[in-house]
Structure 1
C-alpha cells in the first residue's frame, strides 16, 4: 500500500470545519427524530481515536453527544454479565454515544494481557454478534471504527508522549507493554474481526499514519453512513428587554474577583503556544 502524503493544514482545517457543521446538522436530525446513534472507536494505542472524538464533539451539544470512556471494572462489575455495564451507557432517544474503547476490550487488551480467561474470550466472540444484532434490531444505529497505525508510528508517538507534559497522562504501563506484544495484538484483532465483522455491523478501518487525514476520512464516512436530513429549527427571536425597575449592581469592592492575568499578556510578559507534536508527525 502506497503511503498517502500528509494532508495540507489549511485544507484540513477548512474541510474539518465543513464536516463539523454537518455533524451539527446530523445531531439536530437525531434529536428531532428520536434516533439513537452508537459509534465505537477501537484500535491500536496512540492511533488517534481520542483526537477524532475530540473533533467530532467540539461543536456538539454535550447533552446529546456524550463520550463513554469507562475505567477498569470494579469487583462487582466483574461478577456481572460482561455486557451489563455497557448497556446502561447506551443512548436514549435523541442521543449520540461515542465509545472511546468499548465492549471490545475483551477481544483486545483483556485477551492479550490475560485479564480474562480463554472461555470468557470465546464466550464474548459468540455473544458479541448476537448482542449487536439485538441493538440494531431495536433501532440503534451502530458504527464501528478501527484505527490502524504502524508499529514504527506508534513507537514514535509513544516517545513523544514520554517527553510531552501535556500528553504524558495518556501513557500507562499497559500501553507501553503493547510495544512488546505487537503481534499478539495483531492476532487478537484478526480473530475479533473474523467473528464480529458481521453484515449488520461492519468494521470500518481508518488508516491513521496521518492523524489529520484519518479524522477527515472517519468523520466523512460517519456522515455518509447516517441517513440524516436537514431539519428546520424553530426560529428564535430575542425578546425586548423590559424597562429598568431600579436595580443597582452590587459594588465591585464587595466581590472577590479573579486577578486580571490577561493584562500580563497585553504587556508582553506572557504568552505560550502549544503545538501538538503528534499532529505534525511525519
Structure 2
C-alpha cells in the first residue's frame, strides 16, 4: 500500500527541513574558516565545494546503513583518532557522527586523569568506555596519550612508557579476541600546516579556547612529537589492530578518505525496515489545550 500524496504545504516544510540539515554542515564549514578570500569564489572552487558536499552526504548515508547493520548484528566497534594538535581529528569525528544516533555511535574524549585515576591500571579508565553489542565508540585521543603527550611532556617515567609498549599490543589483541573491532587512525599534517592552523586559532576569538598551554608547548616540541610518533607506530602496529595514516593537510579530503576507509572495514548490508506509518492522532471531545502564560515564552528577538 503506497502512502497517500503529501499536502503541498507539508511537502514544502519537509523540503525545508532537509535543506536546514544541509545548512548545518555549511555552518560547520564556515566555522572552519576556509572561506577566507576571493580565490575561494572561483568557479572551480565552487564546483570543488559542491563535489565535496555531494560525496560527504553520500558517505554519511552509508554510515547510517553501517549503523543499522552494527545494531542489527550486535557488532562492537572501537575507532581511535590520534594525531598532532590541530590535525583535524575533531572535524572528522563531527562528520562521522553528524547523522548518526548518539546512543549507537558515541564519542569518548577523556580529560587528563585525576589523582585517583593516576593510581589505577593505566587502561582502566578507557575500559569503562568500550562498546557493548550494537555500539560504535570513537576515541578522540585514546590510551596512546602515554606514547605521545605523556612521553613528550614528561608525565610518565621511562619504566611506565616501556610497560605501556609491552602491554598495549596484548591489550588490543585481547579486545579483538573478545569480538571488538579496533581501528586506529593517525592524522598526519606538515609542520607548516600545523603552524598555520595554530595562527588561525590565535586570531579567531571563537576558536582561541582550543589552544591550551599544552598545545602551545607541543608546537615548540614538534621534533620530539615526531620521534614519539615514529616509535609508537613502529611498536604498536600489529596485524590484529594496525595503524592507518590519514593525509590530513587537506581537511576535506581527509574527512572523505577516512569515512570511506572506515566503511570499507565492514561487509555491511542495508538492513530492511518495515515501512513507517504515522498513526492518526487520537482526539477527544473533552480535550482543551490550556493557555501558556506569556511570561514563560522565550523572547522572540530574531
Q: Which deviates more, 95-104 or 166-175? A: 166-175
- 1:196 and 2:236 are equivalent in the alignment: yes
SS class of match (1:183): helix
2:247 to 188, 207, 218: 207
Cα deviations by residue, 1:186-242 (Å, 9 ceiling, x for unpaired): 110111111111111111100111100100000000001122111112332111222
2:205 to 143, 146, 165: 165
Cα deviations by residue, 1:9-61 (Å, 9 ceiling, x for unpaired): 11111100000000000000001111001000000110000000000000100
- The residue number in structure 1 matching 2:13 is none
Q: How does 1:1-282 map to 2 (within 5 A)?
A: 8-253=48-293, 256-262=296-302
Displacement over 3 Å in runs of 4+: 252-255
Once the 2 structures are TM-superposed, how far is the Cα of residue 243 of structure 1 from its aligned partner? 2.7
Following the alignment from structure 1 to structure 2, what is the Cα–Cα distance between the partners of residues 228 and 77?
38
Once the 2 structures are TM-superposed, how far is the Cα of residue 245 of structure 1 from its aligned partner? 3.0
Once the 2 structures are TM-superposed, how far is the Cα of residue 251 of structure 1 from its aligned partner? 1.9
Q: How many residues align?
A: 258
Once the 2 structures are TM-superposed, how far is the Cα of residue 8 of structure 1 from its aligned partner? 1.7
Once the 2 structures are TM-superposed, how far is the Cα of residue 260 of structure 1 from its aligned partner? 1.1
Following the alignment from structure 1 to structure 2, what is the Cα–Cα distance between the partners of residues 116 and 245?
71
TM-score scaled by structure 1?
Answer: 0.89
Following the alignment from structure 1 to structure 2, what is the Cα–Cα distance between the partners of residues 81 and 119?
14
Structure with the greater relative contact order (CA < 8 A, sep ≥ 6): 1 or 2? Answer: 1
TM-score scaled by structure 2?
Answer: 0.83
Following the alignment from structure 1 to structure 2, what is the Cα–Cα distance between the partners of residues 147 and 16?
19
Could you list the runs of 5+ residues in structure 1 that have no partner in the other structure? 263-282
Q: Which deviates more, 158-167 or 103-112? A: 158-167
Following the alignment from structure 2 to structure 1, what is the Cα–Cα distance between the partners of residues 129 and 283?
47
SS class of match (1:250): coil
SS class of match (1:67): strand
Following the alignment from structure 2 to structure 1, what is the Cα–Cα distance between the partners of residues 280 and 101?
27
CA RMSD of aligned residues (A): 1.5
Once the 2 structures are TM-superposed, how far is the Cα of residue 146 of structure 1 from its aligned partner? 0.2
Once the 2 structures are TM-superposed, how far is the Cα of residue 255 of structure 1 from its aligned partner? 5.2
